[in-house]
Amino acid sequence: MSESQPQAVYLKDYTAPDYRIETINLRFDLDPEATTVTSRMEVRANYDPAEGRRPFVLNGQELELVSVSMDHDPVGDEGYEISDDTLVIPHPPAHFHLEVVTRINPSANTALEGLYVSGGNFCTQCEAEGFRKITYFPDRPDVMTRFTTTVVADRKEYPVLLSNGDRIDSGELEDGRHYVTWHDPSLKPSYLFALVAGDLACIADHFTTMSGKEVKLELYVQYGNEDKTEHAMRSLKKAMRWDEEVYGREYDLNTYMIVAVDDFNMGAMENKGLNIFNSRFILAKPETATDMDFVNIEGVIAHEYFHNWSGNRVTCRDWFQLSLKEGFTVFRDSQFTADMTSPAVKRIDDVSLLRTRQFAEDAGPMAHPIRPDSYVEINNFYTLTIYEKGAEVVRMIHTLLGPERFRKGSDLYFKRHDGQAVTTDDFVRAMEDANGVDLSRFSHWYEQAGTPRVEVERAYDAAAKQYRLTLRQSCPPTPGQPEKAPCQIPVKTALLSREGAALPLRLAGESQAGGSERVLVLNEPDQTFIFEEIPAEPVPSLLRAFSAPVKLEGGYSDEELAFLMGNETDDFNRWDAGQQLALRVIVRLIEGAPRELDRGLSAAFGKILADDRLDPALVAEALALPPEEYIAECMDEVDPLAIHEARQFVRIALAETHHEALAARYTALADPGPYRVEADAMGRRRLRNACLAYLVQLEGESERAFAQYEAAGNMTDSMAALVALVHNAAPRYDEALQHFYQRWHEDPLVLDKWFAVQAAAPAPGALERVRKLLDHPDFTMRNPNRVRSVIGAFVMRNPAGFHRDLAAYTFLADQIISLDRLNPQVAARMLDPLTRWKRYDESRRNVMKEELERILRVPRISSDVYEVVSKSLAA
């Protein structure tokens, strides 16, 4: 980038493109260091030419321009204007053909945007603005065209040549080269373009759609990984069938391809018909992948497949609308995973991520609405707010409308906007029009940053048998938004008798009761809901299934939370009651309460542990204490070490008090049969390993963990034992680490686990351990997975280890400066811990701020890092 300060882009400045690209024909002559790209476009004015000619502006970065021709005639230097990031044709006709030839160096592309080389293979990543690093083009999502792509390469080195759409031609050329031509019949923006070339193994299968069409399924991996693809292929077929059954969406092309690559900034990319995946979301077998890996692979494959409609067939008009495709698709993949596994556990997993990380994002300097007003670098807005909070907003519409009416709305949305680039307003309008409802108040969720708070006031009138719930909403100020309008908040509610029964509900003004659960819609700053014929004061069950992404202040006593842990009929709320009770206990310890185990928490823990009627996966979640990151979000000033010590005290006290029960449950859950990727088997392993995590903290129990490590026939049990040993610095943990490395050092994805388990260990000396890991011969800054497994695990998953030594802040700043020269996207994402510098004590705060200021002084800092640092300092 130039030395000038990066400039913001604003939603209010959006205008439609001046030109349409009717078609584009691309030819790639592949060479690792000098690839030639020839682009032939048919261009037509998107305005009234009678008003005067407008310049045609094409985006381009890090390109060597070879030639420009218009309507087959060369264009000299005087016929165009070129800068660091644009090529401008000043006065083109209203309809013309433009040929642009560029040259690029894929081997030098360490940022992994555009066309680059990974493991000897060519691949692309064009979202959000990577296509401009391939050739000059109006690189914006509302410029949609039909692509025809010819890929030319040495046949011996690159026998596989892939791009979007259907293969329409292929042949041999002189000098041992060959070519394949692909045509994509669908209109698509440049961010959905993809190309892969290399020597890859192909695993083929097929799928019959609901209309009877046969679709070829092709999964490409490096040779030697073929035995790790069965789960991915099975997951793809399950996702295709589910999307037909639940949303009525059928796949449209003749072939669906997935390619797994080792070097990838994201998890995966939904390029039309040719998905490119980070290999960790494809490759899995029981010996090398954990249960959570299997679940994540299934979910990510489903996510990218669902994008075929919610993102590709209907795409976003501009990058401010990113949640249009991502929020909707995350909601869809969450539904899918809930159907494939345990709905309650999936909901708990989603909300845990939201509370520990997205709520923190909402409270930090990078807070933004799910439809931002501005950005400096769009890569910084691939955030949990866009994805996870965006999904929660779609979920609220689903809650308000119900499944059948939501399906009517989605059907209209896809029908109305197929082949278009649209906005979040268009999505909401389709829901309104299909169902005759008014969701205008709902727009505030898209426009406002921050996490709303809902405060509850309760009153019971025994004489009148009336129960009053008053709900008050507020939202704290965020950068640029000091005042907030009230949102439309669905609060799913039940009332429980003191015996634990859900009561029939009749609101004032209704003639009869209407079931035992209601969705109370909070539209105003405060509203009161009156329930009639309530025989005795109940315990309210509020925000069931986490029906809105808010912070609930329900005014519960410790006794009521313990009651809900034992009697709640909503699985999510039962879990949440335990989390809130444990949170209170830990916070009181941090504030100086006597170091003793809370009796109510201990009793509830024991009751859940002993209840073998419950889903084991749900029990495992219920036994887990709130993570340190979530505890930090609930405190005004964060003391990471005090949080860690208080939480550890409760964990050890629970383990000591329930030692026999934990050991008995651990033994009873042993699975004598073969490993199965099924919900019940995964739930049993989840609970058994949760018991082990408690037990290994006690003297004499490390041998149990080491025995499990030695006997484990699957990666789930192996990793659970290794984490238990390493994170507790238990006897023989180093022996286990050495054994693990010797066995798996040639498998990159498993080796990432070995690095991460050490970087996330909270014991003293964490910084020095991480420094040594960076010097390990298997560590490289050029692979994002490896960076995340060491630096990311240390700074984002090890709060006690990271914050114990102030020198860690200097360490992180050094790594960000180094990374920024290689891969600005990854560097910017590592900044997160420093952005919250104001929430810590003075000594930590001062060093964090100094390091942010030092990063900002680095010459030629990327726009990715500049935006995060400057906003953090200005907040």
Point out the residues that are catalytic. 304
How many CB atoms are located within 10 Å of the residue 535 CB? Answer: 9
Residue 21: helix, strand or coil by DSSP? strand
The two structure tokens encoding residue 554: 């329900």
Which tokens in the block code for residue 220? 């490409």
Residue 176 Rama label (left phi>0; alpha psi -120 to 50; beta): left
Question: What is the Cα–Cα distance from 494 to 631, expressed in whole angstroms?
Answer: 27
What the block records as the tokens of 169 is 């031609």
Q: Which two tokens stand for residue 738?
A: 């050495």
Q: Which two tokens stand for residue 665?
A: 């449950």
Neighbours of 407 (CB within 10 A): 16
Q: Is 669 helix (H, G, I), strand (E, B) or coil?
A: coil
| Separation of CA 442 from chain center | 23
The one-letter amino acid at 273: G
Residues in the chain, overall count: 875
Q: How far apart are CA 836 and CA 505, in angstroms?
A: 44
In the numeric block, the tokens 């802040």 are attached to 809
Rg (CA), the chain: 28
| Structure-block tokens of residue 476 | 């704290």
**C-alpha 368 chain-centroid distance:** 16
Q: Helix (H, G, I), strand (E, B), or coil: what is residue 348? A: helix
- Give the integer Cα–Cα distance in Å for 374 and 613: 51
Q: Tokens standing for 326?
A: 């991502």
Distance CA 811, CA 681 (A): 42
Show the tokens assigned to 748: 């990159």
**What's the gap between Cα 38 and its chain centre?**
35
Q: What share of the chain is helix, strand, coil (3-state, %, to 5)?
A: 45, 20, 35
Q: Mapping DSSP to helix (H, G, I), strand (E, B) and coil, where does residue 666 land?
A: helix
**Residue holding tokens 């003639």?**
511
CA distances from 397 to 315, 331, 461, 487, 488 (A): 20, 11, 34, 13, 10
Nearest alpha carbon to residue 387 among 333, 348, 439, 423 = 333
Q: What is the DSSP letter of 265?
A: S
Beta strands at 518-522 and 489-496: parallel, antiparallel or unpaired: antiparallel
Alpha carbon distance 449, 367 (integer Å) = 6
Strand partners, 53: none
Which residue type does 750 have? V
